[in-house]
Structure formats: structure tokens, C-alpha cells
Amino acid sequence: MRTLRRAAGLVAMMVTALLLALLPATAAQAAGTGEQNWCAAQGITSPEANRAIDAACAEWRARTLYTWGGGHGPGPGQSYGTWDLSSTDGFEETVLDPQTRGFDCSGFARWAWYKALGYDILGGGTAKSMFRAAGRTYKQVNGSGGGKPAVSDLEPGDLVFTGVGGTVDSITHVMIYLGDGYVVEAYQSQKPIRVIDINSRISNNRLVGVTRMPQGSPFTEPTGYDGTLQVTWGTGVAVREHPNHLAGLVTRLSGPDIVYARCQQRGERVTAEGYTNDTWTYLSNRGGWISNIFLKGPAWLPEVPACSGSAYDSQIGAGGGGNATQGGAYSTWGTGVALRSQPSTVNGTTVARLTGPTSVSVSCQVHAQSVTSEGYTNDAWSYLPQYGGWITNIYMKGDAWLAGVPACDGRGTATPVGAHAYSTWGTGVTIRSSAATGAGVVTRLSGPTGVAVSCQKHAESVTAEGYTNDAWSYLPEYQGWVSNIYMKGDAWLAGVPNCVNPRAV
């Protein structure tokens, strides 16, 4: 809360009390140290800073994850991360990031101020390069006498830069100041964006400096830019009037571009660049359809809704996949299969029944209630957007956890298409947070389970069940490690890459 200047006299005291009573509830939440459970601008804020903070807090509310290199695509916005190959520890911390959409710290700041100003003022550089650019299109904030600023010199929306030692060359992090001593930041791989008190982040001489964006001019986002921000890849990519390759050409994208995805649907099956996909997405800022082959991400984008009603385009061409309510990339089996409003047979109500094997679209999956049926036990459920309901993966053709389908909770990992399907054996098999028997328990597998394995590595040697092995496999759907003793197959699984050196097989 802003501290109101004390004034002498009874009238001043009454005015002060009245103003304090009228301060918004969000400001009153700003109290205490450590991580906070709120996100909002604190105190008097410019329109531009308000927009930047609103954009940042929207990502906080969505529990958007930190991913190394996220937000550094051709344009601002969430993107898939990459591995930190600077060290073994760095790689292990970021092993999931290439499959995770989100932001790193500078990509997060870039997005927030892009939404505030309407143009990419910060660019796609690192936190250090952003600070070094101060004085060109935005300014550096100094304290009294020209030195480093104090917290009292900061305004909401300012960017706070830190590094061990407090020098410009040491900069490794940037945060967005909310006001009243709090910052919002993307701070660690696979962790959601958080709000925390600034003093805990600048102690031990870690503060390097602060920059302030230009403020004072109104901005209105252009019309037609509705939908989810996505990034294309490739050159000369066609955007067409309908979701088929013979439809009229709207435009061609000369190179990677930032686009807004309004909705997606099944259209003509297309093969290009070594991929085959029948999903097309409507780009609101381009006025046409693009094959999902040329959008970064999985074949069916989990954050983009299915086209329905007047948004659905029936001109899908020869060999099209049909309406999303009629078909899709996966198939069910069995008769009278119930689709539930929640991934539970207890809490969820029945929204539909499939009379027989059905082709369906699957947007995401989640571990929820464990179900036993047809001789199988599985706790994975898939969301079918065309029905608005959940199905136990027991009735989905494929692995217990479907390869290529991301986790619905935003904290899981999309199992890579092509990840080898393996099976565990034994009962009460422990999945651990790292490749060591002393690491935390993620879960236990009650019996033999079908799993996807993204990589493996040599780590702690384990002796169990009459075997000794130092190989461990990473199971992306559980975000944990299992000793290869409990994997059916060789001691070192054939065809699975080495986690420490991703190019080694």
C-alpha cells in the first residue's frame, strides 16, 4: 500500500483514514514476505504499466511455466523451450523444457511489455542485452547521486535486473516490479510464474539495475487479433481460404511469423516436410487457414479450441478428416463407452456414450481416478473436445499414456510422438524425482504398466530382484525416473537416447 504522508490536524487524520479504507483489496493483500497468492499492480500506475502488469498477472493466474528459452520466438509470446547445455546440472534441470510451452525471465518481460505498448520494444535478447539497451528506446532508473536505485525509487512496471555480484556482466535474471515491494517473475524450469517480495531477490548485492519503459501514450490492440498466440516455421508457407491445399491462396508467410490461432479442426490430410497431419488452424490476423504442420507444437494444439458452429469450415477437400465432432486422430474401442464431465466415475456425470469404436480428437490427458475395466487398470484419462468430456484411456487404442498428447494440467509433459512404448514389471515400483534411490517418490506403479521413455542415463547403481544396473529411464508422463531393472528389455534400452548427451543413442 502506498504510505500516505502524515499531516497535522484532525481533518488530515480523517482524510487519511478514509483513503486507506477506500484502497482496493488487491493492494491490501500486499503484506508479508516470501511467495504471495495474489498478483496485481500496487499503488499509482501509468496506463502502460497497468497493461504490462495485467498481461504478466494473466500468465500468473494461468500458472504458466518457466521453460529455458521460452518467449524468444520470432515474435513475443509463449514458445517451447530448449535444453541448457552449458552444464550437466543445467541439462538435467531443463530436460523437459523442449516439450514445455512458457517463458523464461526475459521472454516473460518481453511479452508483458509487448502487450502494454503494442510493439516488441524489448526484442528477443537475454536479460543482460535488455539492460545494456537502456538509453535507446527506454531508460535506466538511477538512485540519488546516480547510483543504483533503492526500492523506494521504483515504479510499477519497472524491470529489475539481478546477478551474483551485482555487476552488468553478471546479469542472469529480470523481474517485473508490481509496486509496494513485490515482483512477478518467471524464475525456474518447470515452476509456475510467481509473485514474491523484492528484498528476497536482491539481497546479497544481487541488484544490478532497473529500467523503465516509455509511458504516456494510449494503445489499443489492433482488431482481428483474437485467439491464442502461436509461431509458425518454414518459408513460403501458404495460408488458404479453406482447410485444404487446393483452396484459394490468402497469403504466403515468407518466414517464421507470429500468428493468432482462433480455432482448429480436421481438414485435408497433408504431407509436407516429413510430417503428415489433417489438422488446420484458422489465423485471425491472416484471415485464412494454415496446416498445423507449420505451427510449432504438437499436431493438435492443446490451448487452441476446436472450431464449432459458424467457425467450422466444411470445405475440407478430398481425403479430409471430417468434422471434429465426427472424427479425429485417435480411436476408441468397446461398446457403450461413457464419456464423463470429469475424469472420474464417481464425481463426473455422463455427457455421452459411444455406441461402438469411434474416431476421436484428443486435446490432452491427465492422471486422475484409477479405473479397472476389461481386465486393465489405468489412471489416465483423455479429454475429447468434440464431446466436451473425458474418457478413461482403457478405451483408447494405444498406450496407457497416449504418445504425442500433452498433459492437461499444464504441469505435465507432452510425450513426444515416436517416444518408444515400453512396459514396467513388478509391483509397487517406485518412480523418483531424480535417478537415485534416495530421491523423492513421485508415485508407485501398482503393477506392470505401459509407459513412454524419453531418455535414459547412467546414475546410481541399484541391486534388486537379483539384478544390478546403473541405468535409469525418464518417464515424461510421470515426470520421474525408474531403475531400468524394472523396465522390460535390455539393461540399456535399445533406441532410447542418452539424457546426458541427447544425440547419443
Residue 485: C-alpha distances to residues 142, 422, 426, 438, 493 (Å): 59, 13, 10, 16, 11
352: number of Cβ within 10 Å: 15
CA distance 438 to 308: 50
Backbone φ and ψ of 163, nearest 5° = -170, 155
Confidence (pLDDT) at 319: 44
Predicted confidence at residue 420, as pLDDT, reads 59
Long-range contacts of 279-282 (CB under 8 A, 24+ apart): 279/321, 279/329, 280/243, 281/230, 282/227, 282/307, 282/311, 282/313
Q: Which pLDDT value is given to residue 75?
A: 81
pTM over 0.85: no
- Alpha-carbon distance of 320 to 314, in angstroms, equals 9
Q: Beta-carbon neighbour count of residue 134 at 10 Å? A: 17
What are 82-102's pLDDT values in tens digits?
888 877 888 888 888 888 889
Which residue's C-alpha cell is 512458457?
Answer: 102
Contact 418, 497 (CB under 8 A): no
> What is the model's pLDDT at position 13?
38
| CA 451/CA 444 separation, integer angstroms | 13
C-alpha 467/C-alpha 359 separation (Å) is 43
- Strands 101-103, 194-197: parallel, antiparallel or unpaired by DSSP? unpaired
Cα end-to-end distance, the chain, whole Å? 57
Q: Which residue stretches of the chain have pLDDT < 50?
A: 1-31, 218-222, 319-328, 409-414, 417-418, 501-505
- Nearest residue to 30 via CA among 196, 201, 193: 196
Q: What is the DSSP letter of 226?
A: -
Predicted confidence at residue 7, as pLDDT, reads 36
CA distances to 180, 190, 229, 430, 485 from 95, rounded to whole Å, are: 36, 10, 24, 20, 22
Distance CA 488, CA 93 (A): 27
Asked if 138 and 121 count as a contact pair (C-beta separation under 8 A), the reply is: yes
